[in-house]
Amino acid sequence: MVTERRREIGIRMALGANRSRVLAQVMKHGLFLTTIGIAAGLASAVGLIASLLFGVQPTDTSTLAAVIVTISLVAVVACWLPAWRASRLDPNIVLRED
């Protein structure tokens, strides 16, 4: 997403958006998608996948919590790296490309 939206991010920064604002915007977008994925995963774990689990109940809170924490940590790192790169864009260079 960051690569596709480099031009938009460059324009925002040229118009006065600071680095922290760009970082927050990219992180917010990525973590919103993660939240949707976690919600869909919880719904499917309780409803659809219950018959496929062996030795674990679909509503086992410790397993669900461990999975949610792991996915969330991976998502934060996966969102932070491109967000940090986007916040370091030079608007002059980005807008001169093309």
Q: Please determine, for residue 56, whether its predicted confidence score (pLDDT) is greater than 80.
A: no
Domain boundary assignment for the chain:
6-92
More confident residue, 58 or 22: 22
In the chain, what are the helix, strand and coil shares in percent, each to the nearest 5?
A: 75, 0, 25
More reliable by pLDDT, 33 or 46: 33
SS3 at position 98: coil
Backbone angles phi, psi at 55, to 5 degrees: 85, 0
pTM comes to 0.75
Query: Residue 79's pLDDT is what?
Result: 92
What does the pLDDT average to over 68-78?
A: 95
Structure tokens of 8?
């938009």
For helices 19-47 and 6-14, what crossing angle results, to 10°?
Answer: 140
